[in-house]
Amino acid sequence: MVKEAFAYMLTLAIVFFAYAVSEYLGGNGALASLIFGIVLGNERVIFEILKRRGPRSVIVDAGLRRFEEEIAFFIRSFFLVYLGLMAVTINIKSVFWGMILSFLLLLVRYVAVRFATIRSPLREECPVMSVVFTRGLVAAIIATMPMQHGLLYADLYLNITIVVIITTAIFCIVGMFVLSRARK
């Protein structure tokens, strides 16, 4: 357990600092934050590779992981609300293409899972792995990029992505409900 006062806040401050410095130097702040997290999460392995003794107390403890989960929940929730505010009008074309893409994602996921588990002990879990394919935060973030760059039809990307996020979530919920009923 971290005994230093404000250790979690200091970790968060360092992430923000790494992000800002990276962006200021012309780099990618998100990638700098990801690398910081990977290094922090793998501190024991890194100390073993460097053949050094690490600190007695582990930096990433259960408290920091819980804090990270809460921050991640807050960010996802905030961003999805923000995304909903950006999607002003969703027309029939967006719904149609979003549904088509969702069905294609389901089909591709089914085929990929079948091939990936040919000689695997996970073969019996194929139905579950096939329906758990929801799109979410990453798809939403990427869908906002055309708007940030002022591209033509940027709102269309966003609207189709929102439909795909909602449709794949519905597919997952219904699929898991059907599979749980079938297993009983």
pLDDT for 39-65, tens place per residue? 888 877 887 787 776 555 556 667 777
Kindly report the pTM of this predicted structure: 0.66
Give the sign of the dihedral formed by CA 172, CA 178, CA 183, CA 184.
positive
pLDDT: which is higher, 14 or 60: 14
- Please tell me the predicted confidence (pLDDT) of residue 55: 58
Question: Which of 5-19, 43-57, 113-127, 158-172 has the lowest average pLDDT?
Answer: 43-57
| DSSP string across 149-175 | TT-TTHHHHHHHHHHHHHHHHHHHHHH
Beta-carbon count within 10 A of 173 CB: 12
Nearest-angstrom CA–CA distance, 39 and 60:
11
- Please tell me the predicted confidence (pLDDT) of residue 144: 83
Read off the pLDDT of each residue in 103-122 and give the average, rounded to a whole number: 93
Average pLDDT of the chain?
A: 84
